[in-house]
Every structure is written in C-alpha cells, then in structure tokens.
C-alpha cells in the first residue's frame, strides 16, 4: 500500500470516528436524509478507494508480467556472449587457407577448449561415465558386451552426455558390461 493510501485511510478512519462520535451525541440528531447522504458519501469514497487499489494491483501484475517476459527473452544473453569467441575462432579457421594440418589441429583444440569453457560458464557439464555403474537416469545403454568389469558397468562411451544445472540435458550413450 502506498504512503498516500495509508494517509487517506487514516484520514477516513478519523472522519469515521468523529462522525461516529457525532452520531452517538444525542444533542445533534441527524435526519434520515442526512444519514443517507453521509452513508452514500462513505460508499462513494470506499468505491473510489477500491477502484484505486484494483488499478494499482492490475498495474503491478502487468509490470511483473513484462519483467518475466524480458527475463525469458534475455535469459540466454550471458551464454551467447560466452559462445561468441568460439564463433570467431571457427570463422578464422575457415578463412585460413594454410595447408599445415598440425596448425589446423592445434586451432581446433583451442576452439574446443573455448567451447568447453563457455559451456561450463553456462553451467553445462559433460557426462563421461567410463568405469562407473550404469545409471538409467544419466546414461542410455545401446548394447551389453562381455567384459572383465563388474556387471552393469559402463565399458565405452559412444556419445558423451551433458548436465545443465544438475539436470540431464542429454544422457550419455554407452555400452554396458554383461553379467557373467
């Protein structure tokens, strides 16, 4: 409630108290018409206060909806800023006409490091579960193979999985050891 509304409420309460005191005083009886007029004035005042409060609530709701829409629209902005250097490196690699494959490989490795750093800043973590127990929530088994490891242990990772803020973005595709 705004400060103005609080002050108006205090004023009205004081007026009501004084009118109640005046009503209680037998020396000045109000005529029925005066009582009706006073009550109608109070009703009008309360209706006005109600409409103002309703408008204030509606404005607050509209502002909050706009803020939520902006948050959704620009939520990825920080992540996108982290990916721009990776894009620059890939474009530079495409423009390079050099034939030295060692330099090309080194450039790709550096770009991969940039990409991994950008993903980590975006709270996206890699799932590489070689040697771990199979977890159906984090891994997707493609095949079971005979192996020396304990049963239901991840033997190979065909495709790494990813977590985003401790939630599975993509499960790791794995092969799992068979029970003996």
Q: What is the phi/psi pair of residue 99, to 5°?
A: -100, 0
Q: What is the pLDDT of residues 102-113, one digit of tens each?
A: 888 888 999 999
Asked whether the beta carbons of 128 and 160 are under 8 A apart, the reply is yes
Neighbour tally for 108: CB within 10 Å: 13
Q: What is the pLDDT of residues 103-151, one digit of tens each?
A: 888 889 999 999 999 999 888 999 989 999 999 999 999 999 998 888 8
Cβ partners under 8 Å of residue 119, min gap 6: 125, 126, 162
Listed residue (115, 133, 136) closest to 124, CA to CA: 115
Cβ partners under 8 Å of residue 8, min gap 6: 49
Q: Would you state the structure tokens that stand for residue 37, as one six-digit string? A: 């007029």
Interatomic CA distance for residues 48 and 46, integer angstroms? 5
Q: Is the pLDDT of residue 61 over 80?
A: yes
Q: What percent of the chain has pLDDT over 90?
A: 56
Supply the pLDDT for residue 13: 58
**Strand ranges inside the chain, DSSP E:** 124-127, 139-145, 154-159, 161-164, 167-170, 172-177
Helix (H) or strand (E) holding 119: helix 101-121
β-pair type (172-177, 139-145): parallel
β-pair type (124-127, 139-145): unpaired
Q: What is the pLDDT of residues 1-58, one digit of tens each?
A: 556 665 666 566 555 555 544 444 456 788 999 999 999 999 999 999 999 999 999 9
Interatomic CA distance for residues 82 and 76, integer angstroms? 10
Supply the pLDDT for residue 21: 46
């Amino acid at each position: 409630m705004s400060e103005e509304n609080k002050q108006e409420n205090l004023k009205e309460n004081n007026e009501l108290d004084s009118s109640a005191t005046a009503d209680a005083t037998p020396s000045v009886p109000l005529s029925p018409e005066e009582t009706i007029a006073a009550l109608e004035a109070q009703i009008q005042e309360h209706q006005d206060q109600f409409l103002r409060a309703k408008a204030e609530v509606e404005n607050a709701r509209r502002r909050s909806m706009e803020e939520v829409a902006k948050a959704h629209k620009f939520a990825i902005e920080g992540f996108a800023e982290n990916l721009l250097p990776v894009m620059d490196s890939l474009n530079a690699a495409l423009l390079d006409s050099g034939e030295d494959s060692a330099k090309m490989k080194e450039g790709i490795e550096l770009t991969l490091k940039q990409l991994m750093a950008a993903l980590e800043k975006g709270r996206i973590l890699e799932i590489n579960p070689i040697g771990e127990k199979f977890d159906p929530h984090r891994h997707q088994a493609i095949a079971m193979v005979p192996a020396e490891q304990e049963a239901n242990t991840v033997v190979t990772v065909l495709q790494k999985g990813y977590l985003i803020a401790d939630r599975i973005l993509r499960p790791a595709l794995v092969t799992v050891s068979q029970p003996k």
